[in-house]
Structure 1
């Protein structure tokens, strides 16, 4: 049967390990935590040997996985074998391998399959085979009211008490990003003195805990507040952040705005694309202002510039990519996102 990741986590300590687990979906935090719970349950059963098989794309070597199923363990009586399948689509060969494993699961192997995506079209005989002998947990994207409940449960799990207004304030802040919500709740656990958290205290804690965070920095840049974005960037630098740690979220936002800009340029349904890109209603005005500032070609250019900044930060710049200072390169990118003048300066620098 299909479970939620949270249901799977709750059941794991109270039942024997199943031969196979499939955990997939578009919410990476829920997938990660459920997979971690399976790993922890395996360790509790004395399974210390773990193998990882990356099955990304059509070139996946499924025969190697079959050979691993049949190999004798050198160090332990049982093994945990993980199949990481980002698309959650094993293809014909992979589906056959997984189905055959489920039909005759080796006694010494626990199979954990994870994926970064899932839809009703992903399922098939292979996932049905998993459900018959194991567990199938899907981390569907949470709806707004479900996020409120999720935040409340997570607060309680951390020993925190917050009234509904305080919870709603936190939900508004993270705007559907579970990773951000989890980080904020972890911060609250450190800051709270055990007293109930009302709206005023939540606003105070959130402001103190993340006064220079990457989410607000990106909001400032998309809103056209270049100076404010740079002040927050300087704050992050002073707090010891590194440029590579900031680039993942920045690139994700630029990919999202570039996709929106392409639809907008073609006169497409922007409201539908907002939904596809999982942009909440409260955030859409920010993106609309950004779309008015630059056209699709410029947002694509800024996305390419982010790749340059990332390479510089990691010490792998291409010939002719300057400046060598990753922080200065990131400042220029944020200013270009924020202001027409910044885009002109970036173009001038690129042209020498």
Structure 2
């Protein structure tokens, strides 16, 4: 049976623990909270022993996990066995072990599988076997247009009332960082002191928790979010960042997209190039959106401009040759990457 994370607590309270659970998705906070709910329920119902297996490489011993399922408990009559599966893909051997467990689960064992990503390519007979005897809890990424609703529900759960303006301001502050959002909501539950929060009161209570880092900066540009990229760049500058420290990641990502664009332009195998560029399945949509905005020659131009920004930052050009302000030059480049109509900024 498939459940949304917000339905899990009610389901756990309404029935005995199932023999198996699979909690998966890209939202780490939601996966963590769902897994914690299962752990708490197991502990409260007499599962006194917990064993954890990390299947994070090809050399993982699936036979050891299989043996553990069948071995008697040393300290408790009931055991919670956790399998951490970062890739969401157990491989042939792992899938067989999990399916065998589900075909005849021991009465004293609950299996909890957690995975950091999930999509159509991850499922198989092993996950179907878990869903048949237990629950599949999927934690999909909270999209930008869904964040306000998620925040509003979270505030309500914590007993905090906030008007629409306050919720919008909180969403702007956390910029999709659910862990930061959860921390802020917990803080608001202590500080709100009753009443309904408005935007001004929210500003006074909430720190700016946006994650200003180069990884999200580049993602904002590739995702076509020029205003967000500019804001994040300003945040990095305010936090004392320096342009040369950012340019390695910026140049690497632009080179990657340029290589993908050249393959796409000549009608080559884009899937193979994604693999060659080591782009994870979960990140391919970001690159595809970027590729749809600019032709291949323009991506090569962006790469060249990144080199120019780096030279400006290191003082290797004369004033008048290119913009002397490296921050301004980098902002123009990122905005042009995000918005085709701004491509003239780096022409």
Does TM-score exceed 0.5, indicating one fold? yes
The answer to whether the Cα contact below 8 Å between 1:262 and 1:296 also exists between their aligned partners in 2 is: no
Name the counterpart of 2:299. Answer: none
Q: 2:134 aligns to what? A: 134
Whether contact under 8 Å (1:261, 1:295) holds in the other structure is no
Change (3 A) 1:256 1:117: farther
> Does structure 1 residue 120 correspond to structure 2 residue 120?
yes
CA contact (8 A) 2:48 2:76 kept: yes
CA distance in 2, matches of 1:149, 1:89: 31
Assess, with a 3 A threshold, how the Cα gap between structure 1 residues 134 and 297 changes in structure 2: closer, same or farther. Answer: farther
What is the 5 A alignment of 1:28-177? 28-177=28-177
Larger Rg: 2
Aligned match of 2:15: 15
Normalised TM-score (structure 1) = 0.67
- 1:122-157, Cα deviation, whole Å (9 max, x unpaired): 111111110110000111112233222211111011
Q: Shift of the alpha carbon at 1:172?
A: 2.2
SS of the residue corresponding to residue 259 of structure 1 reads helix
Q: Which residue of 1 aligns with 2:233?
A: 223
Q: CA deviation at 1:277?
A: 4.4
Give the Cα separation in 2 of the matches to 1:11 and 1:114: 18
Residue 306 (structure 2) aligns with: 295
Number of residue-to-residue matches in the alignment: 272
Secondary structure of the residue that 1:223 maps to in structure 2? helix
Q: What's 1:194 paired with?
A: 194
Aligned equivalents of 1:81, 1:191: Cα separation in 2: 39
Q: What are structure 2's unaligned runs of at least 5 residues?
A: 218-229, 265-278, 291-301, 311-325, 330-347
Q: Which residue of 2 aligns with 1:263?
A: 257
The DSSP-based 3-state class of the residue aligned with 2:51 is strand
Paired residue secondary structure (1:215): coil
How far apart in 2 are the matches of 1:192 and 1:10? 27
1:225-272 CA-partner distances (Å, limit 9, x unpaired): 7762129xxxxxxxxxxxxxxxxxx99x98688435631576579xxx
TM-score normalised according to structure 2 size: 0.68
Q: Is the 8 A contact 1:217 1:229 kept in 2?
A: no
Structure 1, unaligned stretches of length 5 or more?
A: 232-249, 282-290, 300-336, 341-352
Q: For 1:256 and 1:24, how far apart are their aligned partners in 2?
A: 30
Cα distance in 2, alignment partners of residues 29 and 226 from structure 1: 25
> Following TM superposition, by how much is the alpha carbon of 1:89 offset from its aligned partner in structure 2, in angstroms?
0.3
Contact 2:177 2:211 in 1 (8 A): no
Contact between 1:221 and 1:229, CA under 8 Å: does it hold in 2?
Answer: no
Aligned CA RMSD, in angstroms, stands at 3.8
DSSP-derived class of the 1:107 partner? coil
